[in-house]
Amino acid sequence: MTHIYNFSAGPAVLPKEVLQQAAAEMLDWHGSGMSVMEMSHRGPEFISIYQQAVADLRELLAVPDNYKILFLQGGGLAENAIVPMNLVGRVAQPATVDFVHTGSWSGKSIKEAARYANVNVAAKPADGFTSVPPQESWKLTPGAAYLHLCTNETIDGVEYNFVPTVQGDTPLVADMSSHILSRVIDVSKYGVIFGGAQKNIGPAGLTLVIVREDLLGHALPICPSAFDWKIVADHDSMYNTPPTYGIYIAGLVFAHLKKIGGVAAMERINIEKARLLYAALDADDFYSNRVAVADRSRMNIPFFLRDESLNDKFLAGAKARGLLQLKGHKSVGGMRASIYNAMPIEGVQALVDYLNEFAGR
Ligand SMILES: *Cc1c(COP(=O)(O)O)cnc(C)c1O
């Protein structure tokens, strides 16, 4: 097999060891004679897989006891509707929901929430999506049903390096699809954390929701029961069939992360990977990244060539070296390197070597 490094923004690279273990267990999981894909979600084998995955994730993120960990379907995008359907009913109607608009993904969340509540954009940078507006500038709504942030904008490469303070009992909702488990977080500062799995956790089709218990039980009557967090929590994510194989792979990823020292150890490696890559991009003006230095993502790094007529040549040369999926998102252009947890530092170094070589350094 040819050796490559996969810089895809998602679905994205997974740890080799995890894929090898999944391959070895594909036809016969732990002597059961069954593939995990063939198991009843209510049988003892799968229940043990599920319980271990939940326990390991709880340990990795130090999730407090008064939070539920839910595994759903629908992806990050479906949560843009599921979140308001579950939270808007907490406050008197008509409800208002606050957003900070920092890029493409928070933009999509705003559009979807507007179907269920009044939406207030508390802040949006004036000059494109290249920074997180300072919290002093946010115009928050007293009594808002919740405040929604996308704490890592996958397309724009903007990441929060702080947890904002919220007013009153307004819960903070964070879309962490593309950086969950990449850094240490204080779960107790959030009401809801959600994310699609296919960036840092496992295969597409699995969605993670971590929700504080007092926020359960407010679903609007129009909310499908399969997406009513209270019903899902009361059934340990088995109200309907959960994405069982996705949960299994996520469990292997959690166990792998524990083995390498947990989220704090992972964060140290991620800081070093991002430092290496940004240093190469900043070395001179051959390349540029337009995001304010303090708000630069450690996971998704968009960049441009000074001479954009060289884009195709750059991508062809990268591909020839096994550096794959570096083309930027169509809404931003240029290039994008996604360096999630499973991207080894050797992969970042290989990209840095190519950046230097292509620039003629
Ligand atoms: C990928 C992504 C999503 C969407 O996930 P889907 O699984 O495609 O619905 C939402 N938010 C962020 C921040 C993402 O990176």
**Same domain as 294, residue 188:** no
pLDDT of residue 256: 98
Q: What is the pLDDT of residues 217-236, one digit of tens each?
A: 999 999 999 999 999 999 99
Q: What is the pLDDT of residues 94-147, one digit of tens each?
A: 999 999 999 999 999 999 999 999 999 999 998 899 999 999 999 999 999 999
Query: Do 291 and 156 touch, CB atoms closer than 8 A?
Result: yes
**Same domain as 191, residue 115:** yes
Pocket test for ligand 1, best of 105, 110, 200, 297 (most atoms within 8 A of CB): 105
Residue range(s) defining the domain that contains residue 304: 5-16+262-360
Burial bucket for residue 221 (CB in 10 Å: 0-12, 13-18, 19+): exposed
Consecutive H or E run containing 69:
strand 67-72
Average pLDDT in the chain: 97
196 lines ligand 1 (CB under 6 A): yes
154 lines ligand 1 (CB under 6 A): yes
Catalytic residue among 56, 68, 199, 230: 199
276 lines ligand 1 (CB under 6 A): no
Task: Look up residue 296 and give its DSSP letter.
Answer: B
**Same domain as 147, residue 43:** yes
One DSSP character per residue, 14-26 reads --HHHHHHHHHTS
pLDDT of residue 220: 97
Burial bucket for residue 291 (CB in 10 Å: 0-12, 13-18, 19+): buried
| Active site (annotated) includes residue 175 | yes
CATH number reported for the structural domain that contains residue 58 in this entry: 3.40.640.10
pLDDT at 167 over 90: no
Residue that finishes a domain, picked among 240, 259, 278? 259
At 242, is the pLDDT very low, low, confident or very high (cuts 50, 70, 90)? Answer: very high
**Same domain as 148, residue 53:** yes
Q: What is the pLDDT of residues 16-45, one digit of tens each?
A: 999 999 999 999 999 999 999 999 999 999
Torsion sign across C-alpha atoms 324, 300, 227, 72: positive
CATH number reported for the structural domain that contains residue 277 in this entry: 3.90.1150.10
Residue that finishes a domain, picked among 238, 259, 280? 259
- Hey, what are 293's tokens? 């230095």
Tell me the CA–centroid distance for residue 179 and ligand 1, in Å.
11
pLDDT at 1 over 80: no
**Same domain as 342, residue 233:** no
Q: By alpha-carbon position, which residue is closest to atom 13 of ligand 1?
A: 177
Burial bucket for residue 97 (CB in 10 Å: 0-12, 13-18, 19+): buried
Q: What is the pLDDT of residues 317-350, one digit of tens each?
A: 999 999 999 999 999 999 999 999 999 999 999 9
Contacting residues for 174 by C-beta, under 8 A, at least 6 apart: 148, 149, 150, 151, 190, 192, 193, 194
pLDDT of residue 62: 98
Tell me the CA–centroid distance for residue 196 and ligand 1, in Å.
6
CA-to-CA distance for 81 and 76, rounded, in angstroms? 10
**Same domain as 352, residue 279:** yes
Burial bucket for residue 283 (CB in 10 Å: 0-12, 13-18, 19+): middle
One DSSP character per residue, 307-360 reads SGGGHHHHHHHHHHTTEE--BPPTTT-SEEEE--TTS-HHHHHHHHHHHHHHTT
pLDDT at 55 over 70: yes
pLDDT at 165 over 70: yes
Tell me the CA–centroid distance for residue 269 and ligand 1, in Å.
24
Contacting residues for 156 by C-beta, under 8 A, at least 6 apart: 102, 103, 104, 129, 130, 291, 302, 332
**Same domain as 91, residue 189:** yes
**Same domain as 64, residue 178:** yes
**Same domain as 34, residue 119:** yes
**Same domain as 304, residue 217:** no
Task: Look up residue 235 and give its DSSP letter.
Answer: T
Strands (E), 151-206: 152-153, 158-159, 172-175, 192-196
Pocket test for ligand 1, best of 154, 199, 201 (most atoms within 8 A of CB): 154
Of 289, 266, 286, nearest in space to 345 by CA: 266
Q: What is the pLDDT of residues 186-224, one digit of tens each?
A: 999 999 999 999 999 999 999 999 999 999 999 999 999
pLDDT at 269 over 80: yes
**Same domain as 277, residue 198:** no
Q: How many domains are contained in the chain?
A: 2
Burial bucket for residue 128 (CB in 10 Å: 0-12, 13-18, 19+): exposed
- Give whole-number Cα distances, 353 to 276, 281, 359, in Å: 10, 11, 10
**Same domain as 199, residue 278:** no
Residue that finishes a domain, picked among 259, 293, 308? 259
